[in-house]
Amino acid sequence: MLVSAKEMLEKAKAGHYAVGQFNINNLEWTKAILLTAEEMKSPVILGVSEGAGKYMCGYKTIVGMVEGMIEGLGITVPVALHLDHGSYEGAYKCIEAGFSSVMFDGSHYPIEENIAKTTELVKVCAQKGLSLEAEVGAIGGEEDGVIGGGEVADPEECKMIADLGVTMLAAGIGNIHGKYPANWAGLNFETLAAISEKVGKMPLVLHGGTGIPEDMIKKAISLGVSKINVNTECQLAFAAATRKYIEAGKDLEGKGFDPRKLLADGVKAIQETVREKITLFGSAGKA
Ligand code: 13P
């Protein structure tokens, strides 16, 4: 059964570790992440962007796949199925389809509009027992064609949104999606500390987990980050392993062209990446 992310994130905040959100793209991705979370006895959040939602033939298909897989694989750790960077309309679609958690990313609206729309969704999610993530200060980089400028959030605005009753809050602190450029200035810990102080117990979310050095991840967790999103790193690991398989000519040996064989090394590479992240985030054994 899918669960809200509320309890797992409140436990993470109190216990000074973070739960990973790993974005899914297809059956192989979902299976790799669920099996690794189970192996490590870690709670886990499966992230679905609106683009990935379309790719996987709609939110209902995804709910069916994930619920079926939890049963079929005998997954016992808490699993939240979460809309990543949702629009207002997208959030409603996911709620209707049976997601257990949604993000409404109103960071590109003026703060008044972000507050108004987030307020509406707080009510709906509370009625249905779902967790809701809000965002202040757009995350930089490009994700599914959405380009953010890498803003640094205003701690006052973070408090205004946190006080609406959301479950967790994503705040821009110089983090970006995708690979970090060589001249990246790093995370803005001063702002993170100021936000943490303002929002108290509210779990904070760090987007753009790919390529953030380990020491910065640990410091961010110590300053109140309880959910860390990782997407690109699994994609890079999958692509590199699949490239290696093809370049070694393994698809030409025996039945190496069978997709169950052709994609197997890529799946193992995703599992290895998820294992490393769960260890780094400290959520192993916390399920
Ligand atoms: P990366 O692709 O940089 O890991 O970011 C993922 C993310 O933040 C999803 O919301």
Buried b (16+ CB within 10 A) or exposed e, 167-199: bbbbbbbbbbbbebeeeeeebbbebbbbbbebb
Closest atom, ligand 1, to C-alpha of 103: 10
Residue 222 has pLDDT above 70, yes or no: yes
| pLDDT at residue 144 is higher than 80 | no
Which atom of ligand 1 lies nearest, measured to the CA of 234?
A: 4
Helix (H, G, I), strand (E, B) or coil at 208: coil
In ligand 1, which atom is closest to the CA atom of 176? 3
Long-range interactions of 69-73: CB distance < 8 A, separation 24+: 69/27, 69/30, 69/31, 69/34, 70/1, 70/2, 70/34, 73/31, 73/34, 73/35, 73/38
User: 253: CA distance to ligand 1 center in Å?
Assistant: 36
Where are the chain's structural domains? 6-231
Catalytic: 144? no
Confidence of residue 285 (pLDDT cuts 50, 70, 90): very high
Active-site residue (options: 84, 105, 154, 265): 84
Ligand 1 pocket test target in 25, 207, 281 with most atoms within 8 Å of CB: 207
**By alpha-carbon position, which residue is closest to atom 5 of ligand 1?**
208
Q: How far is CA 284 from CA 20, 79, 122, 191, 279, in A?
A: 10, 14, 30, 28, 6
3-state secondary structure 267-286: HHHHHHHHHHHHHHHCCCCC
The answer to whether the CB of 235 is under 6 A from ligand 1 is no
148 has pLDDT over 80: no
Q: Is the CB of 140 under 6 A from ligand 1?
A: no
Can you tell me the distance from the alpha carbon of 124 to that of 147, in angstroms, rounded to the nearest whole number? Answer: 28
Count of beta carbons in the 10 Å neighbourhood of residue 29 = 22
Interval between CA 115 and ligand 1 midpoint (Å): 24
Measuring from atom 9 of ligand 1, which residue has the nearest CA?
229
- 3-class DSSP assignment, residue 180: coil
What is the per-residue pLDDT for 145?
A: 57
Average pLDDT taken over every residue of the chain: 95
Three-state DSSP at 13 gives helix
| pLDDT(66) > 90 | yes
Q: Of the CATH numbers 3.20.20.70, 3.30.70.2190, 3.40.50.300, 3.40.50.2300, which one belongs to the domain with range 6-231? A: 3.20.20.70
* Contact (CB, 8 A) for 48 and 231: no
Determine the residue of 22, 147, 225, 232 to mutate for testing ligand 1's pocket, defined as the one with the most ligand atoms within 8 A of the Cβ atom. Answer: 232
Q: Which atom of ligand 1 is nearest to the CA of 230?
A: 4
Per-residue pLDDT tens digits for 157-214: 999 999 999 999 999 999 999 988 888 889 999 999 999 999 999 999 999 999 999 9
Check pLDDT > 80 for residue 146. no
- What pLDDT sits at residue 151? 77
Q: Is the CB of 50 under 6 A from ligand 1?
A: no
Q: Is the CB of 232 under 6 A from ligand 1?
A: yes
